[in-house]
């Protein structure tokens, strides 16, 4: 389960997924549910799991029950399903300021439209 909505993820997805990847928060996320879908080195996945178990609460590993999928916003690269608050904080900011963001984007669109209308296009 992710901290961001499916709609938010769909809007900002990188469309790249795989067996492992690091979230911007520093957690190293691993898909351990589909271990036969990837070309793991011998004992690689069990070594990650043993290290995670040995570190306990200090572990930076996060095991997911799906492929490691990423989304990018504001120059930050998050993993869908990570337990960090990074993506959720940004989504919350957007949802709480929807009207203001719409006003801002509409103003920018009008400015761009005005610039485009003022341009002369010459046929070649």
Judge whether 103 lies within some domain: yes
Does 7 or 34 have the greater pLDDT score? 7
Judge whether 123 lies within some domain: no
Calculate helix-pair angle for 86-96, 98-118, nearest 10 degrees: 70
Judge whether 124 lies within some domain: no
Q: What is the pLDDT of residue 36?
A: 66
Judge whether 77 lies within some domain: yes
Strand 76-79 with 13-18, pairing = unpaired
* Mean pLDDT computed over 47-62: 81
- Per-residue pLDDT tens over the stretch 8-21: 999 999 999 988 89
Q: What is the pLDDT of residue 112?
A: 95
Number of domains in the chain: 1
Residue 1 has pLDDT above 70, yes or no: no
Tell me the residue ranges of DSSP E strands in the chain: 13-18, 20-22, 28-31, 61-64, 68-73, 76-79
Judge whether 47 lies within some domain: yes
Residue 37 has pLDDT above 80, yes or no: no
- Per-residue pLDDT tens over the stretch 84-119: 988 999 999 999 999 999 999 999 999 999 999 999
pLDDT band at 63 (very low <50, low <70, confident <90, very high): confident
Range of the domain at 106: 6-118
**From the CA atom positions of the chain, what is the Rg in Å?**
21
- Per-residue pLDDT tens over the stretch 71-91: 999 999 999 999 998 899 999
Judge whether 15 lies within some domain: yes
């Amino acid at each position: 389960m992710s901290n961001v909505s499916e709609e938010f993820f769909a809007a900002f997805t990188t469309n790249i997924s795989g067996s492992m990847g690091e979230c911007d928060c520093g957690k190293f996320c691993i898909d351990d549910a589909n271990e036969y879908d990837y070309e793991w080195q011998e004992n690689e996945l069990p070594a990650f799991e043993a290290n995670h178990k040995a570190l306990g609460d200090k572990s930076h590993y996060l095991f997911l029950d799906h492929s490691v999928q990423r989304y990018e916003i504001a120059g930050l690269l998050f993993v869908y399903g990570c337990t960090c608050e990074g993506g959720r904080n940004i989504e919350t900011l957007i949802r709480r300021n929807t009207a203001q963001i719409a006003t801002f984007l509409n103003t920018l669109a009008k400015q761009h439209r005005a610039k485009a209308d003022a341009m002369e296009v010459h046929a070649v």
